[in-house]
Structure formats: structure tokens, C-alpha cells
Amino acid sequence: MMNIISREALKKKLDCGDDLKLVMALDRRAYEKMHIPGSLHFANIMETVKSLHPEDEVVVYCSNPKCPVSIHAYYALVRYGFRHVSRFAGGLDEWLEAGYPLEGSMIQQTETVNNME
């Protein structure tokens, strides 16, 4: 059974500075446009496996509950022996809906436009 972390639980862990590895599972272009602050991005699952330790607490996410990318990343990490993996199923859509902070070029462009108004 997949471990799911809620938006509120993830936000609390990030706010408390918990030692977790937050991994955005989408491609580099999507990561550069928008991601949750503190997120890591890896080119592929092997890079992820080599960069993290199997005992790390890892949370994977993508864009929304129906996006399969974080599901594949979750199960791949479990297959490679990672024992503390969770999926933030709501992804960017749910994070944005809550008004929580995001980083990336798309966010910076929006802030620039808003500051000009």
C-alpha cells in the first residue's frame, strides 16, 4: 500500500525543518517553471537512487492526484530499497490551491507583473 502524505502534514514538516527529501518527479522544464521550495529534481530514477540514501525520508510529488509520474517514482524508490517514501498526491495543483509558496520562473514572472501593476 502506498504511503500518502497530506498537504497539511507536508507543509508542517517543511515549516518545522524536518530532514526530508522533497522530490519533484516531473521533468526539468516543469521543475524550473514551478516547484515547492526546497524541492530536489533529478534527471531520472537512477540519479535519484544514487543521490539519496535508502534511510532518507523521501516525499515525491508531481502536478495533481491523477498524474502518474510521482506514482512511478514512488514505486521505483521502494523497489530500490527506500523504506521511508511517501507521495504527496495533490501535487502542485493542491499546493497552489492552498496559497502555499512556490518557486520557479513562472512564479517570478507573475510576481514581476503584479509588482508593475
Residue 82 has pLDDT above 60, yes or no: yes
Residue 66 has pLDDT above 80, yes or no: yes
Average pLDDT over residues 30-46: 94
Residue 108: predicted pLDDT: 61
Residue 113 has pLDDT above 50, yes or no: no
Under 8 Å CB-to-CB from 58, ≥6 apart: which residues? 20, 21, 23, 52, 77, 82, 84, 85, 86
Return the amino acid letter for 15. Answer: D
Write down all domains in the chain, each with its CATH number in brackets: 7-116 (3.40.250.10)
Average pLDDT over residues 19-35: 96
Return the amino acid letter for 67. Answer: C
CB-CB contact of 84 with 60 (8 Å): no
User: 109: pLDDT confidence band, cut at 50, 70 and 90?
Assistant: low
Residue 116: predicted pLDDT: 45
Residue 106: predicted pLDDT: 85
Residue 107: predicted pLDDT: 76
Mean model confidence pLDDT for the chain: 91
